[in-house]
Amino acid sequence: MLDKLNIVKQRFDEVSDLIIQPEVIADQKRYIQLNKEYKDLKQLVEKREAYIRLQSHMAEAEAILAEGGDPEMMEMAKGQLEEARGELPELEEAIKVLLIPKDPDDGKDVVMEIRAGTGGDEASIFAGDLFRMYTKYCESRGWKTHVLDFSEGTSGGYKEIQFEVSGEDVYGTLKFEAGVHRVQRVPQTETQGRVHTSAATVMVLPEAEDFEVEIDPKEVRIDYFCSSGPGGQSVNTTYSAVRLTHLPTGLVAQCQDEKSQHKNKDKAFKVLRSRLYDMELARRQEAEAAKRNSQVSSGDRSAKIRTYNYPQGRVTDHRIGLTLYDLQNIVNGDVHKIIEELKLVQNTEKLKEASETF
């Protein structure tokens, strides 16, 4: 393990030197990539220092015990050795997890999209509940959210809503939420008290930088229209909303949140880049899914991933068979416990694959 950590330290020193070079700073793409690598490597370098320090304490204690002599020194050495041996397995496990190759997209911000599925008005209300759940969760993580576009449901909630989330390791956390979410409850419109099943689809698109996805302006049709919804009189009377259609793929992106047509156009292009990037990402994930039977990172984005059952007060994640009887807290933003379990399963799978190299 120390050999691997020494290689990491060597690369960390190289990257530390590179990111202060003027030619690297001038190259935006390379500078951003190296900064991300520096941040990831720094965690491992700090663990390496802790590992070396622990090994040194163990060697010192073992030497004192081998020499014999003063009983008090022997007792202290024995305690130091036991303490170090107790800390070592946990530290080694943390290092193994950090040595797992990271998804290069994990550090990206995201565009999330929630769409009402089967269930009519109830599905729109459920989409609104999911939006509220995610905004509360993002707030608890110190992440910023900003609505880009939405279409309200006739009885509340949203037929569709898009919003961006920015912060630290956003995609690496929220990517587990992509898929079909089901709700089982008595709808507000149900007069006979029967439980209905409705659904909403959640998409999580990693935001692509300009240099990662090049869009030919000639291949994009731009339509301007009047915004709908809150925002004052000017929102409904000026052509500030923007809709982009990418002609080669048929992908559509629009934004009506800002009063400025220019700002809406910039944000719509951001969404379009993310959609194109996600399309390529989906192809890669499908290829990877064919190679390994991963529980939580398959290429099937239409899979039913979670059920929220109100009569029983439970939430079940079908990918890992996790059931929690804590529905109210979860729909109020405490989805972290589910995401952490999914991360743990994925890391365990990756550790099994990488175990022969440690």
Q: Give residue-wise pLDDT tens across range 37-79.
A: 898 899 899 999 999 999 998 999 999 888 877 888 889 889 9
The overall average pLDDT reported for the chain is: 86
Confidence of residue 16 (pLDDT cuts 50, 70, 90): very high
Amino acid, single-letter form, for residue 262: H
Residue 323: per-residue pLDDT: 97
Instruction: Using alpha carbons, select from 219, 274, 210 the residue that is nearest to residue 248.
Output: 219
- Residue 338 reports pLDDT greater than 90: yes
Share of residues in the chain with pLDDT > 70 (%): 90
Q: Tell me which range, 16-20, 132-136, 187-191, 216-220, is most confidently predicted by mean pLDDT.
A: 132-136
**Weakest-pLDDT range from 42-56, 151-165, 245-259, 329-343:** 245-259
Average of pLDDT values for 71-89?
A: 89
Q: Which CATH architecture has domain 110-209+269-348?
A: 2-Layer Sandwich (3.30)
36/56 Cα distance (integer angstroms): 31
Sign of torsion, CA 70 75 79 81?
Answer: positive
For residue 294, is pLDDT > 60? Answer: no
Q: Please, where in the chain does CATH 1.20.58 lie?
A: 2-99
Question: What does the pLDDT read at residue 22?
Answer: 92
Q: What CATH architecture does domain 2-99 belong to? A: Up-down Bundle (1.20)
The encoded tokens of residue 19 equal 């990111």
Q: Say if strands 304-309 and 179-185 run parallel, antiparallel, or are unpaired.
A: parallel
Condensed to tens digits (0 to 9), the pLDDT of residues 186-222 reads: 987 676 788 999 999 999 998 887 667 888 889 999 9
The candidate with the shortest Cα–Cα distance to 162, out of 267, 84, 87, is 267
First to last CA, the chain: 6
Kindly report, as residue ranges, where domains of CATH 3.30.70.1660 are found in the chain. Answer: 110-209+269-348
The pLDDT value given to residue 237: 55
The rounded distance, in Å, linking the Cα atoms of 241 and 262 is: 9
pLDDT tier at 299, thresholds 50, 70, 90: very low
- With a pLDDT cut of 90, the percent of the chain lying above it is 50
pLDDT, residue 348, reads 82
- Highest-confidence range of 91-105, 243-257, 299-313, by mean pLDDT? 243-257
Q: At what angle do helices 336-354 and 71-99 cross, to 10 degrees?
A: 90
Beta strands 196-206; 251-255: pairing state: unpaired
Alpha-carbon gap, residue 232 to 254, rounded angstroms = 20
